[in-house]
Amino acid sequence: MEIAIVGRHTKVSEDMRQKIFEKMEKVEALAPRATRADVHVVHERNPKHASDRERVEITVHGPGVVRAESAAEDRYIALDGAMQKLVEQLRKMHERKVHRHQGKTGLHSVPPVPAVPPSGAPAGTPAEPEALASAEAWEGAPEGSHREIPIDGTPIVIRSKRHSAAPMSVAEAIDQMELVGHDFFLFHDSESGLASAVYRRRGWTYGVIHLSQTAEGEADSEAEDERESA
Protein backbone atom coordinates (compact mmCIF):
# COMPACT_ATOMS: atom_id res chain seq x y z
CA MET A 1 0.00 0.00 0.00
CA GLU A 2 1.33 3.41 -0.97
CA ILE A 3 1.38 5.93 1.91
CA ALA A 4 1.50 9.68 1.19
CA ILE A 5 2.18 12.03 4.13
CA VAL A 6 1.41 15.73 3.67
CA GLY A 7 1.86 18.59 6.14
CA ARG A 8 -0.44 21.62 5.98
CA HIS A 9 0.84 24.80 7.69
CA THR A 10 3.52 22.64 9.28
CA LYS A 11 6.52 20.44 8.59
CA VAL A 12 6.18 16.74 9.38
CA SER A 13 9.24 15.55 11.29
CA GLU A 14 11.00 12.26 10.52
CA ASP A 15 9.95 10.92 13.91
CA MET A 16 6.30 11.68 13.12
CA ARG A 17 6.61 10.05 9.70
CA GLN A 18 8.08 6.92 11.28
CA LYS A 19 5.21 6.77 13.77
CA ILE A 20 2.71 7.03 10.92
CA PHE A 21 4.37 4.23 8.92
CA GLU A 22 4.44 1.97 12.00
CA LYS A 23 0.76 2.51 12.75
CA MET A 24 -0.26 2.04 9.12
CA GLU A 25 1.07 -1.52 9.25
CA LYS A 26 -2.04 -2.43 11.26
CA VAL A 27 -4.23 -0.84 8.61
CA GLU A 28 -2.54 -2.93 5.92
CA ALA A 29 -3.34 -6.08 7.93
CA LEU A 30 -7.01 -5.12 8.27
CA ALA A 31 -7.38 -3.83 4.72
CA PRO A 32 -5.06 -5.93 2.51
CA ARG A 33 -6.85 -4.73 -0.64
CA ALA A 34 -6.15 -1.07 0.08
CA THR A 35 -3.92 0.54 -2.54
CA ARG A 36 -3.20 3.97 -1.10
CA ALA A 37 -3.42 5.95 2.14
CA ASP A 38 -3.27 9.75 2.38
CA VAL A 39 -2.22 11.12 5.78
CA HIS A 40 -2.58 14.88 6.31
CA VAL A 41 -0.98 16.48 9.36
CA VAL A 42 -2.59 19.90 9.87
CA HIS A 43 -1.51 22.70 12.20
CA GLU A 44 -4.28 25.17 13.09
CA ARG A 45 -2.89 28.67 13.38
CA ASN A 46 -5.94 30.25 14.99
CA PRO A 47 -5.20 30.74 18.74
CA LYS A 48 -8.86 30.09 19.53
CA HIS A 49 -8.28 26.45 18.61
CA ALA A 50 -5.22 25.92 20.77
CA SER A 51 -6.73 22.89 22.50
CA ASP A 52 -7.06 21.06 19.17
CA ARG A 53 -4.53 22.88 17.03
CA GLU A 54 -3.02 19.66 15.70
CA ARG A 55 -5.21 17.56 13.40
CA VAL A 56 -4.49 14.28 11.61
CA GLU A 57 -6.64 13.16 8.70
CA ILE A 58 -6.28 9.63 7.27
CA THR A 59 -7.97 8.50 4.05
CA VAL A 60 -7.60 4.90 2.85
CA HIS A 61 -8.36 4.09 -0.78
CA GLY A 62 -9.18 0.57 -1.97
CA PRO A 63 -12.50 -0.94 -2.87
CA GLY A 64 -14.22 2.16 -1.49
CA VAL A 65 -12.86 4.94 0.72
CA VAL A 66 -12.50 4.95 4.51
CA ARG A 67 -11.69 8.21 6.29
CA ALA A 68 -10.99 9.23 9.88
CA GLU A 69 -9.61 12.30 11.61
CA SER A 70 -8.85 13.53 15.11
CA ALA A 71 -7.65 16.78 16.65
CA ALA A 72 -5.72 17.45 19.87
CA GLU A 73 -3.20 19.81 21.37
CA ASP A 74 -0.44 17.30 20.60
CA ARG A 75 -0.14 15.83 17.08
CA TYR A 76 0.93 12.42 18.35
CA ILE A 77 -2.26 12.21 20.41
CA ALA A 78 -4.20 13.32 17.33
CA LEU A 79 -2.54 10.53 15.33
CA ASP A 80 -3.53 7.94 17.94
CA GLY A 81 -7.12 9.22 17.91
CA ALA A 82 -7.39 9.12 14.11
CA MET A 83 -5.89 5.63 13.97
CA GLN A 84 -8.31 4.37 16.63
CA LYS A 85 -11.29 5.67 14.63
CA LEU A 86 -9.95 4.24 11.37
CA VAL A 87 -9.27 0.79 12.81
CA GLU A 88 -12.75 0.73 14.36
CA GLN A 89 -14.31 1.49 10.97
CA LEU A 90 -12.27 -1.24 9.27
CA ARG A 91 -13.24 -3.77 11.92
CA LYS A 92 -16.92 -2.94 11.54
CA MET A 93 -16.62 -3.38 7.78
CA HIS A 94 -14.96 -6.76 8.36
CA GLU A 95 -17.72 -7.81 10.79
CA ARG A 96 -20.43 -6.87 8.30
CA LYS A 97 -18.71 -8.98 5.67
CA VAL A 98 -18.49 -11.96 8.04
CA HIS A 99 -22.15 -11.61 9.08
CA ARG A 100 -23.21 -11.89 5.44
CA HIS A 101 -21.99 -15.49 5.50
CA GLN A 102 -23.70 -16.35 8.78
CA GLY A 103 -27.22 -17.68 9.12
CA LYS A 104 -27.09 -19.57 5.86
CA THR A 105 -28.62 -23.05 5.61
CA GLY A 106 -26.22 -25.78 6.68
CA LEU A 107 -25.80 -29.22 5.10
CA HIS A 108 -27.92 -30.94 7.75
CA SER A 109 -30.77 -28.48 7.17
CA VAL A 110 -31.25 -29.44 3.53
CA PRO A 111 -34.75 -30.95 3.14
CA PRO A 112 -34.97 -34.45 1.63
CA VAL A 113 -35.40 -34.59 -2.13
CA PRO A 114 -38.36 -36.74 -3.28
CA ALA A 115 -37.13 -40.10 -4.54
CA VAL A 116 -38.51 -41.48 -7.78
CA PRO A 117 -37.84 -44.82 -9.52
CA PRO A 118 -35.96 -44.74 -12.83
CA SER A 119 -38.15 -44.24 -15.87
CA GLY A 120 -39.46 -47.54 -17.24
CA ALA A 121 -37.95 -49.61 -14.42
CA PRO A 122 -39.79 -52.74 -13.18
CA ALA A 123 -41.86 -52.51 -10.04
CA GLY A 124 -39.80 -52.79 -6.88
CA THR A 125 -36.73 -51.10 -8.36
CA PRO A 126 -35.07 -48.94 -5.66
CA ALA A 127 -35.87 -45.29 -6.06
CA GLU A 128 -33.11 -42.82 -6.85
CA PRO A 129 -32.94 -39.22 -5.65
CA GLU A 130 -33.71 -36.56 -8.22
CA ALA A 131 -30.76 -34.38 -9.23
CA LEU A 132 -30.70 -31.10 -7.35
CA ALA A 133 -31.73 -28.15 -9.49
CA SER A 134 -28.81 -26.12 -8.15
CA ALA A 135 -26.24 -28.70 -9.25
CA GLU A 136 -25.83 -27.38 -12.76
CA ALA A 137 -22.80 -26.33 -14.76
CA TRP A 138 -22.19 -22.60 -14.54
CA GLU A 139 -22.11 -20.50 -17.69
CA GLY A 140 -18.78 -20.73 -19.49
CA ALA A 141 -17.61 -23.75 -17.50
CA PRO A 142 -14.92 -25.77 -19.33
CA GLU A 143 -15.82 -29.29 -20.38
CA GLY A 144 -15.33 -31.83 -17.59
CA SER A 145 -15.02 -29.18 -14.88
CA HIS A 146 -18.42 -29.93 -13.33
CA ARG A 147 -19.47 -33.14 -11.60
CA GLU A 148 -22.25 -34.23 -9.28
CA ILE A 149 -21.06 -36.49 -6.46
CA PRO A 150 -23.84 -38.23 -4.44
CA ILE A 151 -23.35 -38.93 -0.73
CA ASP A 152 -24.20 -42.58 -0.03
CA GLY A 153 -27.46 -43.07 1.82
CA THR A 154 -28.54 -39.43 1.56
CA PRO A 155 -30.52 -37.35 -0.95
CA ILE A 156 -27.66 -34.82 -1.05
CA VAL A 157 -25.51 -34.28 -4.12
CA ILE A 158 -22.25 -32.36 -3.84
CA ARG A 159 -21.42 -29.97 -6.64
CA SER A 160 -17.78 -30.36 -7.70
CA LYS A 161 -15.85 -27.76 -9.70
CA ARG A 162 -12.38 -27.73 -11.18
CA HIS A 163 -10.60 -24.45 -11.87
CA SER A 164 -7.28 -23.62 -13.48
CA ALA A 165 -5.09 -21.21 -11.52
CA ALA A 166 -1.56 -19.87 -11.79
CA PRO A 167 0.72 -20.21 -8.73
CA MET A 168 0.64 -17.20 -6.41
CA SER A 169 2.08 -16.00 -3.12
CA VAL A 170 0.26 -16.12 0.21
CA ALA A 171 -0.27 -12.35 0.12
CA GLU A 172 -1.80 -12.58 -3.36
CA ALA A 173 -4.09 -15.40 -2.20
CA ILE A 174 -5.32 -13.26 0.71
CA ASP A 175 -6.08 -10.45 -1.72
CA GLN A 176 -8.06 -12.85 -3.91
CA MET A 177 -9.96 -14.16 -0.87
CA GLU A 178 -10.95 -10.63 0.11
CA LEU A 179 -11.86 -9.87 -3.50
CA VAL A 180 -14.40 -12.71 -3.71
CA GLY A 181 -15.61 -12.13 -0.13
CA HIS A 182 -15.01 -15.68 1.12
CA ASP A 183 -13.59 -16.90 4.44
CA PHE A 184 -10.99 -19.12 2.75
CA PHE A 185 -9.22 -19.41 -0.61
CA LEU A 186 -7.51 -22.42 -2.23
CA PHE A 187 -4.38 -21.81 -4.29
CA HIS A 188 -1.01 -23.18 -5.47
CA ASP A 189 1.72 -21.64 -3.33
CA SER A 190 4.44 -20.31 -5.66
CA GLU A 191 7.05 -20.50 -2.89
CA SER A 192 6.49 -24.05 -1.62
CA GLY A 193 4.82 -25.50 -4.72
CA LEU A 194 2.16 -27.10 -2.48
CA ALA A 195 -1.61 -27.03 -2.62
CA SER A 196 -2.56 -24.51 0.05
CA ALA A 197 -5.42 -22.56 1.60
CA VAL A 198 -5.54 -19.19 3.33
CA TYR A 199 -8.31 -18.46 5.81
CA ARG A 200 -9.51 -15.87 8.28
CA ARG A 201 -8.74 -16.33 11.98
CA ARG A 202 -10.07 -14.58 15.03
CA GLY A 203 -8.34 -11.42 16.11
CA TRP A 204 -8.27 -9.91 12.61
CA THR A 205 -5.46 -12.16 11.40
CA TYR A 206 -5.06 -14.77 8.67
CA GLY A 207 -3.80 -18.35 8.55
CA VAL A 208 -2.43 -20.59 5.82
CA ILE A 209 -2.49 -24.38 5.43
CA HIS A 210 -0.05 -26.24 3.15
CA LEU A 211 -0.96 -29.77 2.05
CA SER A 212 1.93 -32.18 1.43
CA GLN A 213 1.62 -35.84 0.52
CA THR A 214 2.96 -38.48 2.92
CA ALA A 215 2.81 -42.25 3.19
CA GLU A 216 -0.17 -43.64 5.09
CA GLY A 217 1.94 -44.75 8.05
CA GLU A 218 3.64 -41.36 8.27
CA ALA A 219 0.29 -39.60 8.20
CA ASP A 220 -1.01 -41.75 11.08
CA SER A 221 2.17 -41.05 13.06
CA GLU A 222 1.89 -37.29 12.49
CA ALA A 223 -1.76 -37.32 13.54
CA GLU A 224 -0.86 -39.22 16.72
CA ASP A 225 1.94 -36.75 17.54
CA GLU A 226 -0.46 -33.87 17.00
CA ARG A 227 -3.03 -35.39 19.38
CA GLU A 228 -0.38 -35.93 22.06
CA SER A 229 0.86 -32.35 21.81
CA ALA A 230 -2.68 -30.92 21.93
The answer to whether the beta carbons of residues 174 and 32 sit under 8 Å apart is: yes
Question: What pTM value is reported for the model?
Answer: 0.44
Higher pLDDT: 227 or 168? It is: 168
CATH number at residue 156: 3.30.505.50
Counted domains in the chain: 2
Residue 119 lies in a domain: no
In a domain, 138, yes or no: no
Contact 90, 31 (CB under 8 A): yes
Domain boundary among 68, 99, 130: 99
Residue 117 domain-assigned? no
Which residues have CB under 8 Å from 118's CB, separation 6+?
125, 128
Q: Is residue 137 part of a domain?
A: no
Question: Among the three residues 72, 99, 126, which one is the final residue of a domain in this structure?
Answer: 99
Is 116 within the bounds of a domain?
no
Question: Would 54 be classed as within a structural domain?
Answer: yes
For residue 159, the enclosing domain spans: 145-230
In this structure, the answer to whether residues 61 and 150 fall within a common structural domain is no
Residue 85 included in any domain: yes
Cβ neighbours for 31, distance < 8 A, ≥ 6 positions apart: 1, 60, 62, 66, 90
pLDDT tens-digit profile of 115-152? 555 555 565 555 554 444 444 444 444 555 555 666 66
* Same domain, residue pair 209 and 155: yes
pLDDT in tens, 74-128: 999 999 999 999 988 888 877 766 655 555 544 445 555 555 555 555 655 555 5
Residue 68 shares a structural domain with residue 150: no
Nearest CA to 33 out of 139, 133, 167, 181 is that of 181
- Is 215 among the domain residues? yes
Q: How far apart (Å, rounded) are the C-alpha atoms in residues 49 and 184? A: 48
Burial of 66 (0-12, 13-18, 19+ CB in 10 A): buried
CA nearest to 75, candidates 128, 124, 39: 39
Q: For the segment 150-195, what is each residue's pLDDT rounded down to a tens digit?
A: 666 666 667 677 777 789 998 888 877 777 767 888 999 999 899 9
- Are 12 and 81 in the same domain? yes
Task: Give 37: exposed, middle or buried? Use CB within 10 Å, 0-12, 13-18, 19+.
Answer: buried
* CATH code, domain with 72: 3.30.160.100
How many whole angstroms separate alpha carbon 47 and alpha carbon 73? Answer: 11
Do 21 and 86 share a structural domain?
Answer: yes
In a shared domain, residues 75 and 153: no
Overall residue count recorded for the chain in this entry: 230
